Amino acid sequence: KPSTQQKSMQSKVQDVAENDESNQIQEGLTPSGERIGPNTISQSSPHEMTNEPTESSSTNVPKNNPSSTTPTINPSPSRGAMYLILTNISKRTNVRSLLMTAASFGCCVVFVAGQRKFDFDPNGPDVPNALRSHIMKGYMRIERFDKLNECVFHIRSLSSESSTEESGTELKKGGDNTNVITEETKDGNKIKRSPIRIVGVEIDDRSVDVESAPFVGDTAFMMGNEGQGLSEKQKSLCDGFVKISQYGNGTASLNVNVAASIVLHRFHLWSRGIEVGQTL
């Protein structure tokens, strides 16, 4: 039989082992001394390390958890749909680049007026391969018109990309730039919304800096020719103009696709309610 002294020594050894195991668990270690990783389940407490959140884990977020300090951008509902008008663009490379830019920033329709030497079929040579699936799935449409006047008339007759048949939309014509669109909601109330505005991207005395986000609802942007910009006829069809401020001492002209990228990106941020100027 073990003596009283031996029993006392065994008791002390057991106490030390239990304390050591307890300390390992508190420090994130298994009883064997292995550190508990994000996918490791402790043998002592199998219910503590699971992939499913518990009530305590959802309310007690550690201070050093990135999700507790990194702001999440939750864009508000779109303030307006974006369209692009392609007309009088000379170079094939610019046409292809403009189509890619339109898709990148969420244009729902690209209106093409004239441009007879280009093939805008989804499988045609002037549509980039990367866009074919995008167009075939209906994320962006390309609509062609023989003349710019026909294109503008069509745009004036539209309300927005939201289904006009489902909302019971009626278009009341009051002049080229004063159309009033009345939509009847499901509860019978009638609301008014602006038609699609045609905005030219041009350095003009009437132009407003694009950084000030001077947008109102659904907008179709018209880009000018690579060399001459917007013609007087094109300007006469626009409801307003935006420009891109430049601060260098070089040329006052930007490549047409570069200009379109800046304008469409700014409109996208505005339409989703995303504020600019946030620090990293």
Could you tell me the pLDDT band of residue 164, with boundaries at 50, 70 and 90?
very low
One domain, residues 18 and 135: no
Is residue 21 a part of any domain in this protein?
yes
Could you give the number of structural domains in the chain?
2
One domain, residues 265 and 200: yes
Range of the domain at 54: 4-59
- Buried/exposed code over 117-127 (b: 16+ C-beta within 10 A; e: otherwise): ebebeeeeeeb
One domain, residues 223 and 153: yes
Question: E strand or H helix at 55, and its extent?
Answer: helix 55-59
For the chain, strand residue ranges (E) read 82-87, 109-113, 141-145, 170-172, 180-184, 190-193, 197-201, 208-209, 219-222, 240-243
Is residue 241 a part of any domain in this protein?
yes
Whether residue 147 contacts residue 116, with contact meaning beta carbons closer than 8 Å, is answered with no
pLDDT of 249 higher than 80: no
Is residue 205 a part of any domain in this protein?
yes
102: how many CB neighbours lie within 10 A of its CB? 24
Q: How far apart are CA 199 and CA 244, in angstroms?
A: 13
Q: What percent of the chain has pLDDT over 70?
A: 57
Residue pLDDT, tens place only, 104-132: 999 999 999 999 999 998 888 889 999 99
One domain, residues 117 and 223: yes
Residue pLDDT, tens place only, 44-74: 333 333 344 443 333 343 344 433 333 333 3
Is residue 169 a part of any domain in this protein?
no
Q: Which residue has the higher pLDDT, 274 or 181?
A: 274
pLDDT of 213 higher than 90: no
- Residue 181 pairs in a beta bridge with 171, 193
Is residue 183 a part of any domain in this protein?
no
One domain, residues 24 and 137: no
Q: Which residue has the higher pLDDT, 190 or 52?
A: 190
The secondary structure of residue 186, as a DSSP letter, is T
Q: How far apart are CA 42 and CA 36, in angstroms?
A: 7
**What torsion, rounded to 10 degrees, do the Cα atoms 225, 230, 234, 238 define?**
120
pLDDT of 232 higher than 60: yes
One domain, residues 138 and 13: no
Q: Which residue has the higher pLDDT, 174 or 7?
A: 7
- Decide which of 15, 44, 59 is a domain's last residue: 59
One domain, residues 140 and 104: yes
Task: Give me the pLDDT at residue 150, please.
Answer: 94
Whether residue 94 contacts residue 257, with contact meaning beta carbons closer than 8 Å, is answered with yes
Domain harbouring 244, CATH code: 3.40.1280.10
Unique residue bearing structure tokens 């159309």: 179
Q: How far apart are CA 21 and CA 45, in angstroms?
A: 12
What is residue 29's three-state secondary structure?
Answer: strand
One domain, residues 200 and 118: yes
Is residue 46 a part of any domain in this protein?
yes
Could you tell me the pLDDT band of residue 253, with boundaries at 50, 70 and 90?
confident
Is residue 43 a part of any domain in this protein?
yes
Q: Which residue has the higher pLDDT, 168 or 63?
A: 63
Structure tokens at 156: 């004036």
One domain, residues 34 and 142: no
Residue pLDDT, tens place only, 127-153: 999 999 899 888 999 999 999 999 999
Task: Give me the pLDDT at residue 89, please.
Answer: 94
One domain, residues 32 and 99: no
One domain, residues 210 and 124: yes
One domain, residues 120 and 202: yes
Q: What percent of the chain has pLDDT over 90?
A: 37
Task: Give me the pLDDT at residue 15, please.
Answer: 58
Q: Considering Cα of 85, then 157, then 204, then 114, what sign does the dihedral take?
A: positive
